[in-house]
Amino acid sequence: MRTILVVDDAAENLQLLSELLKPLARVRVARAGAKALEIARESPPDLILLDVLMPELDGFAVLERLKAMPQCAGVPVIFVTSLDGSDDEERGLKLGAVDYISKPLKPAVVLARVRTQLELKQARDAMNHRNAVLETEVAARMRESNMIRSATIRAFANIAETRDNDTGEHVRRTQEYVRLLAEDLRSHPRFRADLAGSNLDIIVESAPLHDIGKVGVPDAVLLKPGKLTAEEFEVMKTHTTMGGLALEQAAENSDPPIAFLHIAATIARSHHEKWDGTGYPDKLAGDAIPAAARLMAVSDVFDALTTERVYKRAMSAEEAREIIVNGRGAHFDPAVVDAFVARFDDFTAVMRTLVNEDDEQPMRDPVVDRSGIRSAIVPARAKGAAHG
């Protein structure tokens, strides 16, 4: 049942209004502003009739405090007063009162204005309820849509990775590594704009598609267990351009364009670029390399070095850290390397959590790494052409 709170320091006015309003709602009364605030705080009414001239807290002060209370801010307030100055009425309306009733009270006027405000309140409440239901439904649809999108991304990523069947949990691990780096760098001056707002989540969401271009690399090259020839390496490198082009075309063909596909395209194309400009396919250098691709470069290298492949043994996390640190300012963005070192314990935790069922423990004596990572950084310790 609807509730009306009547506030007046005169007992006769409380009695008159209580009797008059009983057919419309349950009536509660208060003879002082402080008591009215206490009642409203504990159980917000549907409407308040508030006397202006009261001792201690007058009606204006009570209204200001009501509007400052979140649970009462939307409760309509009608001023009931013997004041006849337009300035007082204007002040009350500016403070948030919805109407003004002058004393002496006229029952027909009071009932008409109270009915109007109760009906408006009921309509607002119904609209707010519908909006809340719609927001809940939209949120549920968004969650469902995001789950479908994430599952689709993972499925496409897995299509590429299953062709290079030694990678196992590579997609999930590198995605978590990118997240760790992005979280550490979100306040860094050179990364703040790229990681602002929803950009961080979009980059993390896009990361699994970094090697989608592998679907276009012939098995003879992609699955070759030994050293690649120079010609084969050139074929292997095309996975960056093929993946970037496919994702960019998918983004452009969407209406409206899908933001995460644009990001995914930059990661796929540029995650083998190097800070010093010696990477591929575009020989970009420094900040010309997209920020998301710089995050993926460190993530991808760390995972490649610390996992077992058909053509190499796994390195320990500490050995991989040494190689990445040695590549600071040459292969990798110095700031990303610093973030990697800062979050190294988290990297190793992810590495140990997302382990392939058939993975062996990391070994201390690494052999050939076809990714070209170690040969580019520590040529004296690595041999063989790269596999991307």
The percentage of the chain sitting over the pLDDT mark of 90, rounded to a whole number, equals 53
256 or 335, greater pLDDT: 335
Confidence of residue 215 (pLDDT cuts 50, 70, 90): confident
Please compute the mean of the pLDDT values over residues 216-225 and round it to a whole number: 86
Please compute the mean of the pLDDT values over residues 340-368 and round it to a whole number: 70
**Whether the predicted pLDDT of 67 surpasses 80:** yes
Q: What is the pLDDT of residue 175?
A: 93
Of the candidate ranges 140-149, 190-199, 325-334, the one whose mean pLDDT is the lowest: 140-149
193 or 224, greater pLDDT: 193
Give the separation between CA 143 and CA 195, rounded to whole angstroms: 22
**Using an 8 Å Cβ cutoff, are 290 and 240 in contact?**
no
**Using an 8 Å Cβ cutoff, are 178 and 299 in contact?**
yes
**Using an 8 Å Cβ cutoff, are 32 and 56 in contact?**
yes
Give the separation between CA 187 and CA 371, rounded to whole angstroms: 31
Report the CATH number of the 164-377 domain: 1.10.3210.10
Confidence of residue 315 (pLDDT cuts 50, 70, 90): very high
Please compute the mean of the pLDDT values over residues 147-170 and round it to a whole number: 64
Q: What is the pLDDT of residue 378?
A: 41
Q: What is the pLDDT of residue 381?
A: 35
Confidence of residue 96 (pLDDT cuts 50, 70, 90): confident
Q: What is the pLDDT of residue 164?
A: 60
**Whether the predicted pLDDT of 368 surpasses 60:** no
Q: Which of 154-168, 202-216, 281-295 has the highest mean pLDDT?
A: 281-295
User: Which one, of 178, 180, 152, 140, lies nearest residue 297 by Cα?
Assistant: 178
Average pLDDT, the chain: 84
374 or 153, greater pLDDT: 153
Q: What is the pLDDT of residue 190?
A: 96
Give the separation between CA 235 and CA 239, rounded to whole angstroms: 8
**Using an 8 Å Cβ cutoff, are 32 and 54 in contact?**
yes
Neighbouring residues of 379: CB distance < 8 A, sequence distance ≥ 6? none
Q: What is the pLDDT of residue 65?
A: 93
> Tokens 């790269």 identify what position?
386
**Whether the predicted pLDDT of 195 surpasses 90:** yes
Q: Express each pLDDT in 201-213 by its tens digit.
A: 999 988 988 988 9
How is the chain split into domains, by residue range? 3-131, 164-377
**Whether the predicted pLDDT of 180 surpasses 90:** yes
CA distances from 205 to 119, 157, 175, 332 (A): 48, 11, 8, 22
Q: What is the pLDDT of residue 167?
A: 52
Confidence of residue 350 (pLDDT cuts 50, 70, 90): very high
Give the class (CATH, top level) of 3-131.
alpha beta
Of the candidate ranges 138-147, 286-295, 379-388, the one whose mean pLDDT is the lowest: 379-388
DSSP 105: P
Confidence of residue 161 (pLDDT cuts 50, 70, 90): low
Give the separation between CA 52 and CA 1, rounded to whole angstroms: 27
